[in-house]
A = this chain, B = another copy of it.
Amino acid sequence: MAEPIDFYFDFSSPYGYFMAEQIDALAAAHGRSVRWRPFLLGAVYKVTGDTPLPSKPLKGDYSKHDFERSARFLGLACRIPDVFPIGTQIAARAFYWLEDRDAAEARRFALAALRAYFVDGRDISQQDAVLDIAAAHGADRAALAEALAGDEIRDRLKDECAQAIARGVFGSPFVIIDGEPFWGVDRVPQIVRWLETGGF
């Protein structure tokens, strides 16, 4: 049995959302499963000195245009939210708490949270929004709220971010297949060929 593919993303990354919409089907078509790994771009940027894409001179304006054009190209709904980017600690912590209970439920929560943000413009930096979405996917709202107030889940997310950085993850989305790293949703054609051929 092949190892799962690792899929790293930040909940505030449009390109991460575009990958989230296709990575499971793409992997399944080649008999592979996917481990979803939300992380915080902010934690990575502390190491790399990078800055959020939307605030970069020239590149920021281009990127906002490219987000929406890329969505149309991929046939995905996407509207850049009024508040963008946002902090995604709460969504990421909720993901890991859910994953410890039911990995498939955690993935459904993650995709729903990405759609809530990038399609419906819902501010998923807020705990209430995260709890609503998790509860709608079967989570125990009160138990999740209690977990989010504790230190354990904070430390867990810190660990996950440190592991991502240790594996060379510097952007979102970032996919690792049998040790081979692919950054960006525009690497999907290379990912497909890699899965088809076992490497090239």
Contact = CB atoms under 8 A, between A and B. Distances in A.
A59 interface: yes
A193 interface: yes
Contact of A183 (B48, B62, B193): B62
B58 A170 contact: yes
Chain A interface main SS type? helix
A58 B62 contact: no
B49 A57 contact: yes
Nearest to A169: B58
Nearest to A69: B190
Contacts of A48: 56-59
A47 B59 CA distance: 11
A31 interface: no
Contacts of A66: 183
B62 A56 contact: no
Q: How many copies does the complex hold?
A: 2
Interface residues of A, number: 31
Nearest to A174: B62
Interface of A: 44, 47-50, 56-59, 61-62, 65-66, 69-70, 72-73, 165, 168-171, 181, 183-184, 186-187, 189-190, 193, 200
17 contacts: A47-B57, A47-B58, A48-B57, A48-B59, A50-B56, A50-B59, A56-B170, A58-B168, A59-B170, A61-B168, A62-B168, A62-B183, A66-B183, A69-B200, A73-B200, A186-B186, A189-B189
Given A58-B170, A62-B168, 15 more contacts: A44-B58, A47-B58, A48-B59, A49-B57, A50-B56, A56-B170, A57-B170, A62-B181, A65-B181, A66-B183, A69-B200, A73-B189, A73-B193, A73-B200, A184-B186
